Structure 1
Amino acid sequence: MNTYTKRSLLFAFVVGHLALLPWHTEAKVTLPAFFSNNMVLQQKDNAPLWGSTDSKKEVKIRTSWNGKSYIAKPDSKGNWKIAVSTPSYGGPYSITFDDGETLTLSNILIGEVWVCSGQSNMEMPLAGWGKINNYEKEIQSATFPEIRLLQVQKATSTAPLSDVKIDGGSWQLCSPNTVENFSSVAYFFARNIYESKHIPIGLIHTSWGGTIAEAWTSGPSLKKMSDFASAVQKMENDRNGDGSEEVKYQAALKVWTAALNAKDQGYEGGKAIWAATGQNVSDWQTMTLPATWESAGLGEFDGIVWFRKTFTVPAAWAGKDLTLSLGPIDDNDYTFFNGTEIGKTEGWDKPRTYTVPGNLVKEGENYVTVRVYDGSGNGGIYGEAKKVFVKNASGEKVELAGEWKFKKGASLTDLPSMPVVNTGPNRPTVLYNAMINPIVPYAIRGAIWYQGESNASRAYQYRELFPLMISDWRKSWNRGDFPFYFVQLANFMKANDQPVESEWAELREAQKMTLSLPNTGMAVTIDIGEEKDIHPKNKQEVGRRLALIARANVYGEKIAYSGPIYESNKIENNTVRLSFKHTDKGLSIKGGNELKGFAIAGSDQKFYWAQAKIVGNTVVVSSPQVPNPVAVRYNWANNPSGNLYNVAGLPASPFRTDDWKGITAGKK
């Protein structure tokens, strides 16, 4: 163990107490929340430091690693900024700020700093709501004092902010106590690099589940896209106004909701007639739940669907309170028990658990009715079968997974577009303003990103939006084309028996196209997703694959870091020969001797499953049903089963050779 490692361990207890001192209020110098004890500064850099001083005097800054002093001159408002040179990795060090009163930050490490952002799969903690694979063991072993964690609190703003709130008030040393609610992807990314390079790692985690990429993009950049220009302009116009945009939105939403309810056949005169006792459901169809209704045969449908499940209650349960669990519902629900409403919830990722009052519970036949509204993408009662049940106080259960009756209540195609949400995180620019802008220009090595699920229904638009966002961040930081590595969407939802169109496949394509930007990398996770959970539990492998990209391209290791990426094709009579890059010692088949996941089509654009075989570093594809092939697709589905890898054990990215119009083309 080297010197700075020993010293970090010796000072850990002391620094933990130093972090609690109220130094912000005692000193005239005020720093943004992310300049604190335990922080990590980027090595071999000119790291910006900034803040303000009440005294308006010059701020003398001294860095212990080189004994050098700097003078920062405040402007008329007391704000100042300066850059300090940092050495190769090491520490712990300190920085002293003096404007007549002294403020000292301690236990600072010099190392590698990464920003970690995106939506829920980046946010997903080791424990908490995430509970990744082997989370208890992973947490117990997570003592890495040279990995430092900074958790940015969620916030929105229509104007760029200059500071953020930090969980715990400061950087935290990675330990079982601090890591359990931190991003699992970010942690495993850092752990893999640290165990390889033994360089201190600083992680700035700033993500928010269910969010859209345009919320993470700045106004000046986003206005370059015609799809968002007017929305950004409206926000800027209303920024310092009287909130008129919010008033208009609420009024428009009320009108739209009334129109939706009027279209819903399940309501009549304001009463939920399809939930009523005695409702005839003989003409309702049957669906096996839990499942997204797209994967269960309903197809691409947005609107309202009513579900009903009849079950038998034991005599001993009659008249007693019960607990109804339905798992997550996408997006919103009203839930009824024997015709009486017992609860409602908004949010596609929130588990539904409702109390059933005893006066509603009778011996024998009872029924649950659920009115589900879905605004875009997937919809329905989905999740794990074991989480759909009704139980009594003793924990005895009646399982409700299986066949349910269902009927469409209203389709959004019969309504004008829903008003744009003008509150919350899913608005253009508001997360960039509140959760990215404040940390710019903190010296960083690069960024990792896991997002896209919330933009899947607009995948063609993402082709322009995602590269724009990356370029926007790079411009804001003014650090050149810093490394930006992202996760391609994992497999999810029910597998299809035949080749189909897929929003998620088109989003993955948009992500792969973004590799045309310099210094980007993509971790393919098409093999580690889960059919019924949009949040795969194997975050260890996600972090590892991201780390492989960094270790190869930033830290110079001679290792494979990508699975096969489609490069070109050649039609040879009744076959198509596909060529790849990143074959790394050759292509391979995982889990058998037969390649899966390939589909082939002729000029009629009708795809059939194909036979495929590896020939050298190419794959040759054919089908007797397509004598004159023109296009091939691989793993082109929500939850495909392809098994093409390279010898390094990394999966091939989904792809298609055609450019036929997709189902998300033109969607905004």
Structure 2
Amino acid sequence: MRRLRIIEPVPNSSYHQVDHFTRDMPMKTSSVCFTFAVLTTMLISSVAHADVRLPGFFSDHMVLQQQSKIKIWGWSDAGDEVTVSIGENSAVATTNDDGKWQVELAPMEASKTPVSLVVKGGHNEIKLTDLLIGEVWLCSGQSNMEWTVARSVNAEQEIAAADYPLIRHIKIPREPSSTPVEDLNATWQVCSPKTAGNFTACGYFMARKLAKELDVPVGLINSSWGGTRVEPWTPPVGFEKVEALKSIHESVIGRTPGSATFKSKLSSFIADSEKWLAEAKDSLERGLSIGSPPEYPGSLKPYTSHQDPTMLYNGMIHGMVGFPIRGAIWYQGESNHNEGMLYFEKKKALINGWRELWGQGDFPFYFVQIAPYQYGNEDPSILARFWEAQAETTTLPKVEMVVINDIATLNDIHPPNKQDVGLRLANLALKFDYGKAEVVALSPEVESHSVENGNLKVRFKNVGGGLKTRDGNAPTHFEIVGKGSNGFQPATASFEGDAVIVLKSEKVSDPTAFRFAWDKLAEPNLTGGTGLPVGACRGGKVPGFLDVIPVGEYDLVYELNLAKLGDQIKYDRNNSASIGAFDRIGYLLELNSSEYGDQKLFVTMDAFTDNVKAIGVPTVESKAVFQQKVSGLEVFANSKTIKTGKIGEGNIEFWPNNYGPGNGSGVPGASGQKFDFGDTFADPEAGYGSMQVHNFKAKQTLFAINHWSQGNSADIGIGNGTGDHSDWTFSSSGSKYSAKKLRIYVRQK
């Protein structure tokens, strides 16, 4: 005999059990068994109920935000009554038609005494234990936020001493999603030597300081992912409110099922597909060929990469939105560092988007300015402009920044000293959120500047007892610029009182602007009285390129829009007839392109000819053929890749001829194998054409204008070429410039 238990429904939605006995039946009576099994399944499913449940990140050991309404939510059967309580603090909710319920418990004060959270539904009860009431901080960003205690300096000692049971940590799994995820699964951990090694180091060291100072529990929600950009962490509403990010918002909404854009594009695709199907059927019947079907629009396809906009917000943030927090800390930017001020717009979208959805007003948002780092051969000022964009973010309400240029590791993008990072974040919170007004938490910042007696004075605020240097030496990494100076020049800096720096340079007689730490490798020594470092900054009006070059000493001979190059050179301005004897010649080349940027170069030299007709583009008609060294070479440029200043000796290669890579004139250092700063002209005379000036000692082409017969596709460039040949030969680069102008000057005797 085999015993079967049948569950029979009764009117009050409970059930009772009826026992039956039957003989074992042969397997061949499968139809009877199948019918019975189906009936049993139907009976069971008719009374199945969903258990009440909480979000997956609600677990034992969690921390709930003090002095804030405690929002708790979950899921159950529609219409179920759910009771939620923490001790005597309780509330009741009814599950809506979508199966979701939510309550708000009354605010509670911080407590080190563990409490339990009890949730009772119609069919089950949940009890979470060892909960604490205290301070909750969201920790997000890329690898430097994800960086663990175990990988920080003094890791072994830090982990051994990590006996702080009032600190709790939860790591949200790395799970991108193209749609908002309502439930996040993770488990809270109690801080101990067994667990702390895997905590976010920035968050842990911040929490340790807060727990000691405030004597309250601290909870850390670690939702971070190494190498990520800011866009995937940002919700759609964040992009929507920033005009500069309109295209990102349109891309997001265009991929969102149900949006008007999505419906419109999908409807058009369906209509085109139906039309094609009709034509295909007709072609099939008539034995005719037909073209390919319409391709599904890429703008409708969901994002797939974790680096795509909204993907990490959807998968790692959305499910906890509304869970009460004190604020957020953020360490990210390395993956966006080449975007300049656009990053400020993106941070604005992130912060305002989170705040709007969280519904807690302008909760505090504290972030870390990324550290100096090599970033390969990248322009040294790119990172400086990014630091400026990060600093601009502090113009948003309740947003502050930690500067860490004093604890960088130039060859490691992950500075392991996270202790000071966490401490500085904690001090921001202590000062602005926890009533510790006496705490000096902000780095010194520029307040104003002025020019007095030929010196530039910079006044700082937030000096914390007065400016000083870490090493006791004069402040480093200051530069100034003025009219007539060859770009920014290193400045001697000295203190004047507690908050003023005096800047001067023998090379700048009339300073108009300054900059500080304006280089990706800058580790300046200037600090406030408490040791907090001063971040990269600049001020004043930088003179235009024409203001900082000594062009006023020269007379214009020729001006040529290089877009008009061709077999015949026709200058836009030609003053050669009015020029007398001269002792120096100057070439000013201005180029602009999306690939190379805004480039300007002014190079002067002692006159290499007394024939003013021969200093322009070396055409056959001009009889200009010069393959020689020049003296008195001085270079002005707006790019740090070009060696500027008084170079002394250089060489020129001016001719209308063809030429080869052989180093016929024996220019020191030239290859003889590739076209560079040492080539040899050849027949025919009316050939390819070269107009090049070189700093051969630095193995550097200063500028090149070759093959001008090709008009807009001539070889044009400032500095060494980016292709196989440093002198731009065969580059056809002229078409890449939106603006290109050459001016030729002489200094008359």
TM-score, normalising length: structure 1: 0.65
Shift of residue 470 of structure 1?
0.9
Structure 2 CA distance, aligned partners of 1:162 and 1:89? 28
Of residues 246, 250, 260 in structure 2, which corresponds to 1:233?
Answer: 250
Other-structure match for 1:632? 514
Of residues 447, 450, 458 in structure 1, which corresponds to 2:331?
Answer: 450
Shift of residue 103 of structure 1?
1.1
Other-structure match for 2:468? 588
Shift of residue 105 of structure 1?
1.2
Is the 8 Å Cα contact of residues 563 and 582 (structure 1) preserved in structure 2? Answer: yes
Is the 8 Å Cα contact of residues 122 and 450 (structure 1) preserved in structure 2? Answer: yes
Other-structure match for 2:189? 172
Q: Does 1:88 align with 2:113?
A: no
Is the 8 Å Cα contact of residues 446 and 458 (structure 2) preserved in structure 1? Answer: yes
Aligned pairs (5 A) from 1:376-525: 422-493=303-374, 501-525=380-404
Unpaired runs of at least 5, structure 1:
1-24, 246-419
Other-structure match for 2:454? 574
Structure 1 476/586 Cα, relative in aligned 2: closer, same or farther at 3 Å?
Answer: same
Structure 1 444/666 Cα, relative in aligned 2: closer, same or farther at 3 Å?
Answer: farther
Is the 8 Å Cα contact of residues 172 and 222 (structure 2) preserved in structure 1? Answer: yes
Other-structure match for 2:560? none
Other-structure match for 1:219? 236
Structure 1 494/551 Cα, relative in aligned 2: closer, same or farther at 3 Å?
Answer: same
Amino acid aligned to 2:340? A
Other-structure match for 2:74? 51
Shift of residue 177 of structure 1?
2.0
Helix, strand or coil at the partner of 2:67: coil
Is the 8 Å Cα contact of residues 61 and 131 (structure 2) preserved in structure 1? Answer: yes
Other-structure match for 1:138? 158
Aligned pairs (5 A) from 1:97-176: 97-100=119-122, 101-127=124-150, 131-166=151-186, 170-176=187-193
Structure 1 495/605 Cα, relative in aligned 2: closer, same or farther at 3 Å?
Answer: farther
Helix, strand or coil at the partner of 2:535: coil
Of residues 64, 81, 100 in structure 2, which corresponds to 1:79?
Answer: 100
Helix, strand or coil at the partner of 2:532: coil
Other-structure match for 1:402? none
Q: Which has the higher contact order (CA 8 A, sep 6+)?
A: 1
Shift of residue 98 of structure 1?
0.9
Aligned pairs (5 A) from 1:9-408: 28-54=51-77, 56-64=79-87, 67-90=88-111, 91-100=113-122, 101-127=124-150, 131-166=151-186, 170-225=187-242, 228-240=245-257
Shift of residue 68 of structure 1?
3.0
Deviations 1:222-274 (A, max 9, x none): 134455434443444445599x99xxxxxxxxxxxxxxxxxxxxxxxxxxxxx
Helix, strand or coil at the partner of 1:50: strand
Shift of residue 210 of structure 1?
1.0
Helix, strand or coil at the partner of 1:180: helix
Aligned pairs (5 A) from 1:534-545: 534-545=413-424
Is the 8 Å Cα contact of residues 89 and 106 (structure 2) preserved in structure 1? Answer: no
Is the 8 Å Cα contact of residues 481 and 511 (structure 2) preserved in structure 1? Answer: yes
Other-structure match for 1:351? none
Helix, strand or coil at the partner of 2:194: helix
Deviations 1:107-154 (A, max 9, x none): 110000000001111011122xxx211111111111211100011001
Structure 2 CA distance, aligned partners of 1:231 and 1:645? 39
Shift of residue 76 of structure 1?
1.0
Shift of residue 53 of structure 1?
1.0
Structure 2 CA distance, aligned partners of 1:93 and 1:236? 43
Structure 1 628/69 Cα, relative in aligned 2: closer, same or farther at 3 Å?
Answer: same
Is the 8 Å Cα contact of residues 57 and 188 (structure 2) preserved in structure 1? Answer: yes
Is the 8 Å Cα contact of residues 228 and 428 (structure 1) preserved in structure 2? Answer: no
Shift of residue 478 of structure 1?
1.2
Structure 2 CA distance, aligned partners of 1:626 and 1:644? 22
Deviations 1:153-181 (A, max 9, x none): 01111222211232xxx211011222212
Helix, strand or coil at the partner of 1:75: coil
Is the 8 Å Cα contact of residues 447 and 460 (structure 2) preserved in structure 1? Answer: yes
Other-structure match for 1:325? none
Other-structure match for 2:434? 555
Other-structure match for 2:283? none
Structure 2 CA distance, aligned partners of 1:61 and 1:51? 11
CA RMSD of aligned residues (A): 3.0
Shift of residue 199 of structure 1?
0.9
Shift of residue 565 of structure 1?
0.9
Is the 8 Å Cα contact of residues 504 and 638 (structure 1) preserved in structure 2? Answer: yes
Is the 8 Å Cα contact of residues 142 and 332 (structure 2) preserved in structure 1? Answer: yes
Structure 1 26/525 Cα, relative in aligned 2: closer, same or farther at 3 Å?
Answer: farther
Deviations 1:43-70 (A, max 9, x none): 0110110001137411011211xx1331
Amino acid aligned to 1:638? K
Amino acid aligned to 2:455? T
Structure 1 526/57 Cα, relative in aligned 2: closer, same or farther at 3 Å?
Answer: same
Is the 8 Å Cα contact of residues 569 and 657 (structure 1) preserved in structure 2? Answer: yes
Deviations 1:190-217 (A, max 9, x none): 0111121111000000011111111111
Q: Does 1:526 align with 2:399?
A: no
Is the 8 Å Cα contact of residues 232 and 307 (structure 2) preserved in structure 1? Answer: yes
Aligned residue pairs: how many? 459
Unpaired runs of at least 5, structure 2:
1-47, 267-300, 546-591, 598-749
Is the 8 Å Cα contact of residues 493 and 530 (structure 1) preserved in structure 2? Answer: no
Other-structure match for 1:295? none
Amino acid aligned to 1:481? D
Is the 8 Å Cα contact of residues 137 and 219 (structure 2) preserved in structure 1? Answer: yes
Structure 1 494/123 Cα, relative in aligned 2: closer, same or farther at 3 Å?
Answer: closer
State the structure with more CA Rg.
2
Structure 1 232/665 Cα, relative in aligned 2: closer, same or farther at 3 Å?
Answer: farther
Other-structure match for 1:389? none
Structure 1 CA distance, aligned partners of 2:255 and 2:398? 37
Shift of residue 28 of structure 1?
1.3
Structure 1 CA distance, aligned partners of 2:95 and 2:472? 67
TM-score, normalising length: structure 2: 0.58
Structure 2 CA distance, aligned partners of 1:555 and 1:579? 29
- Once the two structures are overlaid, the 10-residue window that deviates more, 651-660 or 132-141, is 651-660
